[in-house]
Chain A
Amino acid sequence: MAKIIVVTSGKGGVGKTTTSAAIATGLALRGFKTVVIDFDVGLRNLDLIMGCERRVVYDFVNVIKKEATLNQAMIKDKRTPGLYILPASQTRDKDALTMEGVQTVLDNLAKDFEYIICDSPAGIEQGAQMALYFADEAIVVTNPEVSSVRDSDRIIGILQSKSLKAEQGGTVKEHLLLTRYNPERVAAAEMLSVADVEDILAVPLLGVIPESEAVLKASNQGAPVILDQESQAGQAYLDAVSRLLGEEVEHRFLDVQKKGFLKRLLGGK
């Protein structure tokens, strides 16, 4: 049985697409056949982050409208074996996704894949609700600031009341992923700490991804940051994937790092 995992946040621009690309790649690296779906109709981004934008011919909406088959629309990742991308449509018709259509696509994918990752659009409206409706688990992406935490709280409320699982009396398993974490700014009390966010949301912590220039570099190169295993963000995503698979891994990169004498002298970062 395939596991459907939605990557959601409420607030926009917090790192959902970055996370979807990294987690999907990470699961494939660990040998699981994985597909990542872009639910952000009209604003597709995932194909850029995955570096396959030039290979998009058909998309999610074409499949739903039966203008193309799943096999025609899915793009096989060039770098990571066992990883596929189903890009979003550029259409401006926000209602192009229908509940029945999404369900049919997910049912078909579930026959072949072990993990289905759904990259949700921002907001708490229909688009976001569609992306989370069929989820078994949810990665709630949050930045350490008040408005992002509040929106995450709202989306968790929706997960637990308006998903298929909730309607059937079950629960969607929640994971908190804190991204763009900057220990210096936390120390200066300009950002909420891990403990603050955990206290407010009361959701198990999947990982903390530090703010890192490697993320921007990776998206410019069209290679998910998890492949940059030199970078702290890449390593933190690898850890998160291990935890998602049930392994116990200690959290890293939570504290301000002391710069070495030489680095300080040379002004290194």
Chain B
Amino acid sequence: MANVCFQMKGTAFTAVVMDLYDYSADLFLAQLKQKINTAPQFFNASPLVLNLAPFEGELKDEQLEQIVAACREMGLQPIACRGAGIELKYTVMGLGLASLPSAKTRSTDIQAEPAQSKAAHVKASPLAGNKEPAFRPSKVITKPVRSGQQVYAEGCDLIVMAAVSQGAEVLADGHIHIYGPLRGRALAGVKGDTNARVFCRQMEAELVSIAGYFVLNEKLRELCWKEAAHAFLEGESIQVSAI
């Protein structure tokens, strides 16, 4: 058989999205440093998508260059720009970034595939113009989610009736309920629902995230460790309390 050099596949993976609201060089750098210091491991070499859609006013070429340079210096890997106006097109290209349309994210069901991504959303873009929330039945998983597996409940809640192992990842657009030990990562409200919660029988998670905000294992160990607990968002911080 002839040697096959490659195969092309479509795939979906999680990346950190930075929604840019405002820019001044000093403030931006300070805030970026602060954010990264909250979870240096998490951000190290994370792929990053710059979302310019929410930016107020007009971003200049040199400002975009500064932003990308600062992100690279801090160890992030900007890979694409979303929502950049036509006037920034050549700057984006010159920076070696891909241009993504500002439309809503396409999501693909990634159930039971080995996790390729190490990063999760820092701030997932909320769906533009979410109208009538149609009823969507929850996704129910009855078997353990094992290390290397990923389960995503798109547009609904996720119920896992067994353990989520270390190295496994469960994601939902809605709430996540886990009726076994949670030892892996649980990310609720991944499309930006700040009311989403994570409930579990036994909290031993590596990471819990809601609408892009997250807490890591070290912090969780101080809160309800190995107890029945739920996590919810209050302002910009995740609260964990016993249930």
Q: Do A and B come from one complex?
A: yes
Interface residues of A (CB under 8 A from B): 124, 150, 153-154, 156-158, 160-161, 171, 199-200, 202
B112→A202 contact, CB < 8 A: no
B158-189 Cβ-contact flags toward A at 8 Å (1 or 0): 00001101111000000000001101000000
B147→A154 contact, CB < 8 A: yes
B147→A153 contact, CB < 8 A: yes
Is B149's beta carbon under 8 Å from chain A?
A: yes
Contacts of B166 in A (CB 8 A): 150, 153
B211 CB to closest chain A CB (Å) equals 28
Interface of A is mostly: helix
Among residues of B, the one whose C-beta sits closest to the C-beta of A150 is B147
Is B136's beta carbon under 8 Å from chain A?
A: no
Contacts of A157 in B (CB 8 A): 112, 145-149, 168
How far apart sit A250 and B166, CA to CA, in the bound complex (Å)? 30
A161→B167 contact, CB < 8 A: no
B148→A202 contact, CB < 8 A: no
B147→A161 contact, CB < 8 A: no
25 A–B pairs (Cβ distance < 8 Å), ordered by A: A124-B148, A150-B147, A153-B146, A153-B166, A153-B167, A154-B146, A154-B147, A154-B148, A154-B167, A156-B144, A157-B112, A157-B145, A157-B146, A157-B147, A157-B148, A157-B149, A158-B148, A160-B143, A161-B112, A161-B149, A171-B143, A199-B181, A200-B163, A200-B183, A202-B144
B167→A202 contact, CB < 8 A: no
How far apart sit A161 and B151, CA to CA, in the bound complex (Å)? 12
A202→B147 contact, CB < 8 A: no
Residue in contact with B165 in the complex, picked from A153, A160, A171, CB distance below 8 Å: A153
B25 CB to closest chain A CB (Å) equals 44
Contacts of A199 in B (CB 8 A): 181
Among residues of A, the one whose C-beta sits closest to the C-beta of B180 is A202
Contacts of B165 in A (CB 8 A): 153, 200
A80 CB to closest chain B CB (Å) equals 36
B163→A202 contact, CB < 8 A: yes
By CB atoms of chain A within 10 A, which of B145, B148, B167, B180 has the most? Answer: B148
How far apart sit A160 and B144, CA to CA, in the bound complex (Å)? 10
B150 CB to closest chain A CB (Å) equals 10
By CB atoms of chain A within 10 A, which of B112, B147, B165, B166 has the most? Answer: B147
Chain B contacts with A in 125-168, Cβ cutoff 8 A: 143-149, 162-163, 165-168
Contacts of A202 in B (CB 8 A): 144, 162-163, 180
Contacts of B143 in A (CB 8 A): 160, 171
A173 CB to closest chain B CB (Å) equals 13
How far apart sit A161 and B115, CA to CA, in the bound complex (Å)? 14
